[in-house]
């Protein structure tokens, strides 16, 4: 019987095997959600010219005093060429729009709300006083040319996309997107759209692992169901080994027809471990062949779910160059006790809710590792250390806040 290893050791082995994919150069539309792999510097000062922050009238502050009626010398729109503007004549004002360049001779803007029509159509009555620089942004106030705006390892959310666009970077170097193949195994399985005969059941692991891998940012290919037959299994596995990650479910237990370990070895894969001290999910086979990682998840759906979240998701994130591939654990307070047989770390489906600034964690009632509904009702995994026989209500508990459950 293969040795059982601790969760931490298994995760170390998985992350060691998961090397970041080669960087790609992607278009702006394909960058959101990826990890940036280059430094982005400002290609110019922002703003690139002294500009008005309001719609109003550009003046020389010293001219205005407590306010006066002045001639309107010009109208300046956003988009005007700063170099082509006439200087503001002393004692006059220029009508100016938000974002428009400030004319030479002006150093402040009176907002339109502080103006009234003048005695002539080309005059306006302005309310003072105004400080020099008021409602004006100076060239470079936001960003200096050459300043580092984004760094390698930054997650590309919408704001980062806007920074790239503002710098004219319609392409950037970023982390790859892992290609995942999903294969369910077992003579008892029928596709979800078929009526299962006696002794059969529908393949739910396949669609679940597909959804999980997509959610983690992967491109996913479904390989369907392989029979408990060495030849069929070997063929199916071979067709998945050109992916970056092959997610298998079933066939990793100790039964006569648990052929996955053997089929992987005969396909030339190195099996790194076959049993992990985790509940659910103990019979979890991890292997690699060349650059392909193989996660042999147990056939029980909740076990497959937990193995994906605890091991496969960190691997996918590392392949995609995430600087923090592993879930960050959050400290929570347990609302009801959890009991377990010591020896394996428990990853318990739970509902975690922030309440009064604290994370309350309520384990979800379950009938066992086939109980998908408990999985759907939870939004977190509460972690019970391997050596613990129980965690009483009110005790501190480490929690993984899953990202696939709508709101918290």
In the structure encoding, which two tokens stand for residue 10, read together? 């298994």
Cis bond before residue 280 (omega within 30° of 0): yes
- Within 235-274, the residues that bind its own copies by CB under 8 A are 253-258
Enumerate the β-bridge partners of residue 56.
96, 111
> Which of 61, 106, 149, 248 is in the footprint of its own copies by CB under 8 A?
149
Q: Are strands 179-185 and 245-249 parallel, antiparallel or unpaired?
A: parallel
- The C-alpha atoms of residue 405 and residue 408 are separated, in whole angstroms, by 8
Nearer to its own copies among residue 92 and residue 300 (C-beta): 300
Position 394 contacts its own copies (CB under 8 A): no
Residues 166 to 205 in contact with its own copies, rule: CB under 8 A: 166-170, 186-189, 192-205
Choose between 190 and 272: whose C-beta lies nearer to its own copies: 190
Cβ at position 338, least distance to its own copies in Å: 18
Residue with tokens 């392949």: 319
Name, in order, each residue with C-beta under 8 angstroms of 351's C-beta and a sequence gap of 6 or more: 361, 362, 364, 377, 378, 379, 380
Q: Does 210 bind its own copies (CB under 8 A)?
A: yes
Cβ atoms of residues 171 and 26 within 8 Å: yes
Does position 30 interact with its own copies (CB under 8 A)? The reply is no
Residue 235 or 408: which CB sits closer to its own copies? Answer: 408
Please identify which residue in 104, 214, 235, 265 interacts with its own copies, judged by CB under 8 A.
214
Site for its own copies in 315-374 (CB under 8 A): 322, 324, 328, 330-333, 354, 356-359, 367-368, 370-373
For the CB of residue 230, give the shortest distance to its own copies in the complex, in Å: 14
Residues with Cβ within 8 Å of 341's Cβ and at least 6 positions away in sequence, in order, are 389
Pick between residue 71 and residue 147 the one whose CB is nearest to its own copies.
147
Of the residues 108, 164, 297, 350, which one makes contact with its own copies according to CB under 8 A: 164
Residues in 48-87 that interact with its own copies by CB under 8 A? 48-49, 53, 55, 75, 77-84
Does position 121 interact with its own copies (CB under 8 A)? The reply is no
The DSSP output letter for 303 is H
Instruction: Give, as one character, the DSSP assignment of residue 28.
Output: G
Two tokens at 64?
């205005």
């Amino acid at each position: 019987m293969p040795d059982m290893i601790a969760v931490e050791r298994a995760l170390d082995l998985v992350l060691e095997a998961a090397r970041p994919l080669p960087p790609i150069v992607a278009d702006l539309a394909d960058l959101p959600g990826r990890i940036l792999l280059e430094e982005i510097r400002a290609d110019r000062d922002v703003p690139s010219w002294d500009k008005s922050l309001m719609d109003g009238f550009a003046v020389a502050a010293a001219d205005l005093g407590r306010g006066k009626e002045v001639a309107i010398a010009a109208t300046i729109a956003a988009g005007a060429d700063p170099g082509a503007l006439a200087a503001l004549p002393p004692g006059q004002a220029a009508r100016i729009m938000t974002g428009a360049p400030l004319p030479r001779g002006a150093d402040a803007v009176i907002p339109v709300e502080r103006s009234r029509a003048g005695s002539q159509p080309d005059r306006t009555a302005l309310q003072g006083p105004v400080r020099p620089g008021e409602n004006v942004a100076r060239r470079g106030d936001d960003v200096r040319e050459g300043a580092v705006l984004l760094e390698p390892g930054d997650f590309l959310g919408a704001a980062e996309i806007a920074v790239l666009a503002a710098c004219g970077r319609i392409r950037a170097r970023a982390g790859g997107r892992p290609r995942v193949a999903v294969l369910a195994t077992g003579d008892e399985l029928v596709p979800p759209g078929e009526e299962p005969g006696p002794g059969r059941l529908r393949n739910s692991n396949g669609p679940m692992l597909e959804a999980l891998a997509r959610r983690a940012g992967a491109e996913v290919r479904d390989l369907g169901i392989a029979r408990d037959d060495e030849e069929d299994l070997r063929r199916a596995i071979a067709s998945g080994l050109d992916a970056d990650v092959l997610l298998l479910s079933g066939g990793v237990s100790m039964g006569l027809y648990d052929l996955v370990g053997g089929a992987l070895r005969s396909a030339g894969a190195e099996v790194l471990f076959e049993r992990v001290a985790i509940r659910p999910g103990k019979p979890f086979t991890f292997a690699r062949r060349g650059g392909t990682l193989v996660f042999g998840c147990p056939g029980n759906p909740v076990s497959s779910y937990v193995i994906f979240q605890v091991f496969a998701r960190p691997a996918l994130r590392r392949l995609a160059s995430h600087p923090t591939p592993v879930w960050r654990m959050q400290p929570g307070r347990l609302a009801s006790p959890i009991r377990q047989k010591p020896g394996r770390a428990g990853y318990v489906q739970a509902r975690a809710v922030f309440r009064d600034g604290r994370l309350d964690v309520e384990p979800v009632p379950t009938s066992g590792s086939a109980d998908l509904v408990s999985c759907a009702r939870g939004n977190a995994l509460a972690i019970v250390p391997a050596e613990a026989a129980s965690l009483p209500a009110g005790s501190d508990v480490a929690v993984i806040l899953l990202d696939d459950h709508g709101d918290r």
